[in-house]
A and B are shown apart, each in its own frame.
Chain A
Amino acid sequence: MSDATALDYGFFSFASKDEVLEKSKEYWNPGKTSFWSESGIPLVIDRREEYFIYDVSGKRLIDAHLNGGTYNLGHRNREMVQAITVAMQHFDMGNHHFPSLARTALAESLIASAPKNLTKVIYGSGGGEAIDIAIKTARHATQKRKILSIIKAYHGHTGLAVGTGDDRFSKLFLSDNEEDFPHVPFNDLEAMEEVLKGRDIAAVIMETIPATYGFPLPNPGYLEAVKQLCEKYDALYIADEVQTGLMRTGELWGITKHGIEPDILVTGKGISGGMYPIAAVLVSERCAGWLTEDGFGHISTFGGAELGCIAALKALEICNRPETRSMVHYISDFIGRGLREIQATYPDWFIGIRQNGVVMGLEFADPQGAKFVMKRLYENGVWAIFSTLDPRVLQYKPGILVKPELAEELLDRTEVGIAKARADVMSERKFR
């Protein structure tokens, strides 16, 4: 480095953080870049390790966002880095047309890990593509077109997935299509049955806990009843386990805690180990028909890239260890209790904890409450993000390998951030 303040990474360099931000606006995404600067989160991530990310200024943050579980195992997890480094001595992405070593090995492992009715795996390069594959698969299997999801659902931004979600992301691109993608309120069985009754629904797609909606918890029995309704009206059940899978609820797949055998299960994010993009769709034999009828029906050059498969094999192995499962239970118990203690200190502000394992949504008594908390947490060394579709709620997602001392530190920082955000909101209200 010629200049002590320069950001020189060998592959590229910038004179300063300001230069990065300027060029980010100029060449990349002005809206996003400005949004974070204006939100008091001037973050440009530099170093990353374990559950820490560092701003280029050196500021350290505990990552409690994890990009929706992508960094479930931490950043640059040592085992992940080693696995991919070794794999690169022999493998590349592979050829998507041919049978492959790594794709086959991963498929076998995924099937072994999943509810037993699931028998085949289809790969995507990311969660959105995987959701599209799930929807296409359901349409083929049922020869019906409509996909039913919940209001404020979020399943990704690709061609079909975007239709299942909130129109905030579809209208922008003239992609809203209520005809093919009807929506019903979450936790409302009557509304769901009303739509299913028409028997023209190919599948209901459900996140086991809707993440971007702030992790509202399904009422006890709700998902089970939805599955029964699906069976009654000949619709398939697609379990979107992108954020609830991989041990985040204390079981490998959150849906198994409900005793549900979904017709299709989608995994993404964390299955990559945070190191190499990959996503997968696990389907039942009934749904797998197109793979025999026309195996070239869905083609994806990057889907199931062999390096990604090796990353996924390693991530799956780590998640599935008995030690990991035990630790998630400890972490969930410890942080849950810590949060309830903080809540008891600020009951008028911190009004709810939605928790299932280390999937957590923290509710605050202000329509934009989580944005205040996010900002104060950032100042105090924690990165957690508000819920796009319900900004009262902070998505709070500790890793599944968090150590006791880091869990304590996270709670300490969280308590201070919540208290300061409360003061912010109270003083703002005074001047309103």
Chain B
Amino acid sequence: MVDTMFEMPLDPAGVPRGRAMIERAEWAARAFATYDAATVQRIVDATAQAGAARSKEFAEWAVRETGYGVAEHKLLKNLACSTGIAAKYRASDYIDVVIDSSDKMVEVPRPAGVVLALTPSTNPVATVMFKIMLALLTRNAIVISPHPYAKAVCAEAARTMAAAAVAAGAPDGCIQVVEEPSIPLINALMTDPRTDVILATGGTPMVRAAYRSGNPAIGVGPGNVPVLVDATADLNATAQRIVESKSFDNSILCTNESVLIVEESAAAALLNAMTRAGAHLLSDDERDRVRDLVFPEGHFDPKWVGKDATAIAAAANVRVNARTKILVAPFDLVVPEEPLAHEKLCPVLGLVRVPNVSRGIDAAQAVLRITGQGHSAAIHSSNPQTIMAFSAAVRVLRVSVNVGNSLGASGIETNLAPTMTIGTGFLGRSSVGENLEPKHLINWTRIAYNTDALVPMADFAGLTPWHTPTAAVPAYPRASNDLTAAPLVPSTVAMSNDAPDELRDEIRRLIIEELNAIVRG
């Protein structure tokens, strides 16, 4: 009867604390799942504003901490993923019950519960904010495990938003962040039976581990975006868009263009326009030096992730204009042994010239055979037949048309759902084929009546199972004979959004100013 406790493996450092966070999240999720829509809206707004108010600081901090990207672009993403997400889904309802009298059904939304969010180093704060907003919109508790390269800024962003959420009435512990992420800790959190869904945004090994965990997971595959430009495109506008998109945050969105495929008849004009827009077309010698630099031994060197084009050029001993935003590297054949045909999270764009659209589609498919299936592709064309042929043939789940793919596929400059997580679907070994959005974090309980017309359906109008919390959640544990006493050590802040009106107006003004500056810039 003496059992095998002596063989218990030791938990790695940090794992017990991580498990405690999941347990706390479980309590928070239970409480949150009964909240009414109005309260949730207040929490969503307050949290978004708190994130937005520090977006600029977090953008600069993220660049400093990771060494990746461009602060002003990160600011745009941070705003898009905080107040932007709140605005986008203001009219959406993930809380109220839906009554369908004709089908004799009532649908009750049911949050996932505890969401484990893994976030990348490339879009660190934006992804943290994005996943927090999705969790709050759907009344889920979230535990964030940031990439170790960005852990400090992500933790501060999450704590900022958590404090705002709780101050606005959210349950204590509904947003938590792992301060010291590690592989054993992430594995323990992913495989914990109390984790209800994993949102895995990051490298392929991590995403595959999420799917192996035994828990429901929404993970995404890598991108490797082909962009086709045919002779019918508006070449000046296309050139501008591609350079802007490829240089956006120095290419660290997984939606950045990887290989430009241009119809030969349009190539000269397009490349001239791109050069005017800030591209440097590499000569064959220069290309070889850049390739050797960025792909030593044929493998991408992560130290170039998100670095400036001028820095890469300098390191490759390529003289470029100081205003150069991207380097264009021509090559002939899209094959696996060509490093430049692989994903490049830096402002180096592969270039392939093709005699016609049909060969262009073949080349795009070749890019995706290397990696990136299910992710995204872009096309610049005014010919619907070409766009249709391209989209049907190329194995991706979103095709951006006449727009830069960085912000196009991620829904910021298209009407796709704005996202930091691109579902790659069955093609890309993922459970979700759309851009990740709030609806992916709920299930619905369906109350289904007998179809027999003789069995009437009751009237559910006006019934709601949800509550408006009237005090902090959970209540502070006061002695039962002294329930009115104020706690000496307050656990949470009061229900209302305590920021005085002037402060809130000031925050709003700052956000609008920042947005305007970006639009103008």
Contacts and interface: CB of A to CB of B under 8 A. Distances in A.
Contact of B11 (A8, A11, A78): A78
A111 interface: no
Contacts of A249: 477
Given A220-B482, A323-B173, A329 B491 contact: yes
Contacts of B172: 326, 329-330
A178 B27 CA distance: 49
A60 interface: no
B505 to A, nearest CB: 33
B10 interface: yes
Contact of B481 (A47, A220, A330): A220
Contacts of A422: none
B interface, size bucket: 35 or more
B88 interface: no
A140 interface: no
Contact of A250 (B5, B11, B20, B477): B477
Given A82-B8, A323-B20, A404-B27, A329 B480 contact: no
B485 A220 contact: yes
Contacts of B10: 82, 86
A329 B473 CA distance: 9
Nearest to B194: A403
A82 B10 CA distance: 6
Interface in A398-427: 401, 403-404
Nearest to B481: A217
A327 interface: yes
A239 to B, nearest CB: 15
A258 B482 CA distance: 12
B471 to A, nearest CB: 10
B384 interface: no
Tell me which of A46, A86, A330, A404 has the highest count of chain B C-beta atoms within 10 A of its own C-beta.
A330
Contacts of B478: 356
A257 B513 CA distance: 46
Contacts of A82: 8, 10-11
A63 interface: no
A362 to B, nearest CB: 11
Interface in A339-356: 353-356
Given A7-B1, A323-B173, A332-B474, A401 B480 contact: no
A48 to B, nearest CB: 10
B21 interface: yes
Contacts of B2: 9-11
Contact of A219 (B24, B475, B481): B481
A357 B477 contact: yes
Contacts of A355: 477, 479-480
Contact of B474 (A86, A330, A401): A330
B20 A324 contact: yes
B489 interface: yes
A331 to B, nearest CB: 8
B488 interface: yes
A93 interface: no
Given A86-B10, A251-B489, A323-B173, A332 B26 contact: no
Nearest to B31: A330
A82 B19 CA distance: 15
A326 B27 contact: yes
A69 interface: no
Interface string B2-34: 110110101100001100110110111011000
B209 to A, nearest CB: 23
Interface of B: 1-3, 5-6, 8, 10-11, 16-17, 20-21, 23-24, 26-28, 30-31, 172-173, 176, 473-482, 485, 487-489, 491
22 contacts: A76-B5, A78-B11, A79-B11, A79-B16, A82-B8, A217-B479, A256-B489, A318-B16, A323-B20, A325-B491, A326-B24, A326-B27, A326-B28, A327-B24, A328-B477, A332-B474, A332-B477, A333-B474, A333-B475, A334-B27, A354-B481, A357-B477
Interface of A: 1, 7-11, 46-47, 76, 78-79, 81-82, 85-86, 217-220, 249-251, 256-259, 318, 321, 323-334, 336, 353-358, 401, 403-404
